[in-house]
DNA sequence: TGTCATTGAATGATGCGTCATGTAATGTCC
DNA sequence: GGACATTACATGACGCATCATTCAATGACA
């Protein structure tokens, strides 16, 4: 590979990095200050809201989230402690747990989604 | 803003997130296993190599790196302990410190840069 | 020149994500 | 149906980034 092509690759990577960090930092800061939850918490709520109809087990979450199983377990812990989510037993497989939005969780999601979308529009490269 | 436009924004964000996480995870994993340094350490070495001619103070690093001043201080700590970098007093301003690549650091950077570029090519969206 | 604000850098407390591991429950195969 | 592997999830240890704070040096200004 030529030196110029390599240089271009590095610049492309730095641009990606910059766009991602700028956006995720802005999201995290605003979601925290306005709604009291971090970005990963919000995005988990968002996934739960999206799949609310089918029902969502921990395992399903790991399939659609970029987070680790372990991280998701702790995120759901925090959301549960805050009352935004609850775990429910799964009749077909007693190892599994359903994760469900509570009233408060659905309400918070509605509010925070506005902030989220607004910041995406402000930060994402057009 | 229309619902569809909002939805598209969210998809754009998830794509950005996915591309960034996939690439940075791959980079971090390979740089660690092949060269024993993390991604942020490497990118700091990379910046130092890039600005080697002018001389690079801590403060200059914070201007070109996406990392925090505090994080950079600790990254340089680790690089220094590993012998890849050294801090040197700054005559014009005794609060400042120059950060310089050592022989070993320059050598490691040469090797690791190959891995870095290779993984960028493999992971970045063409 | 003495006072006060600012700057460059280091550090301690804290939060969070990851890895490795543990523990049930389930599946498989003889 | 009993032994073994596998799956779903939780947890503890660890690393690392961040924030707030601290400290020393410098600048500004009366």
* CB atoms A17 and B1 under 8 Å: no
Res A1 pLDDT > 70: no
In 3D space, the residue among B15, B8, B26 whose CA is nearest the CA of residue B119 turns out to be B26
Q: Three-class SS of residue B66?
A: coil
Chain B neighbors of A110, CB-CB under 8 A: none
The percentage of chain B sitting over the pLDDT mark of 70, rounded to a whole number, equals 99
Reading the block at residue B40, the tokens are: 């942020």
Rounded CA gap, B91 and B98, in Å? 10
Look at the alpha carbons of A124, B1, B4, B7 in this order and tell me if their dihedral is positive or negative: positive
The shortest C-alpha distance from B89 to chain A (Å) reads 30
How confident is the model at residue B1, as a pLDDT?
A: 67
How confident is the model at residue A4, as a pLDDT?
A: 79
Tens digits of residue pLDDT in A67-126: 999 999 999 999 999 999 999 999 999 999 999 999 999 999 999 999 999 999 999 987
Rounded CA gap, A30 and A84, in Å? 19
The CATH architecture to which B3-123 belongs is Orthogonal Bundle (1.10)
Show which residues sit with Cβ under 7 A of nucleic chain D: A 29, 57-59, 62, 69-70, 73-74, 76-77, 87, 90, 93, 95-97; B 38, 40, 67-68, 70-71, 74-75, 78, 93-95
Q: Is the CB of A67 within 7 Å of strand C?
A: yes
- Cβ < 7 Å from strand C, B residues 14-53: 29
Distance, C-alpha B50 to centroid of its chain: 12
**A114 contact partners, CB below 8 Å, separation of at least 6:** none
| Domain limits, chain B | 3-123
Rounded CA gap, A44 and A40, in Å? 6
How confident is the model at residue A69, as a pLDDT?
A: 98
Question: Which contacts of B63-69 are long-range, i.e. CB under 8 A and separated by 24 or more positions?
Answer: B66/A17, B66/A18, B66/A21, B67/B40
Tens digits of residue pLDDT in B56-97: 999 999 999 999 999 999 999 999 999 999 999 999 999 999
Is residue B7 within 8 Å of residue A116, measured between CB atoms?
no
């Amino acid at each position: 590979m030529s030196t110029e092509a390599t240089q271009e690759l590095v610049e492309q990577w730095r641009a990606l990095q910059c766009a991602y960090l700028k956006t995720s930092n802005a999201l995290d800061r605003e979601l925290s200050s306005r709604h009291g939850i971090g970005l990963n918490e919000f995005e988990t709520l968002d996934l739960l809201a999206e799949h609310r109809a089918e029902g969502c087990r921990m395992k399903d979450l790991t399939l659609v989230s970029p987070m680790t199983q372990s991280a998701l377990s702790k995120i759901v812990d925090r959301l549960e402690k805050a009352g935004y989510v609850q775990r429910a037993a799964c009749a077909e497989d007693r190892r599994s747990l359903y994760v469900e939005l509570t009233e408060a969780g659905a309400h918070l999601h509605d509010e925070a989604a506005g902030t989220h979308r607004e910041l995406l529009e402000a930060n994402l490269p057009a």
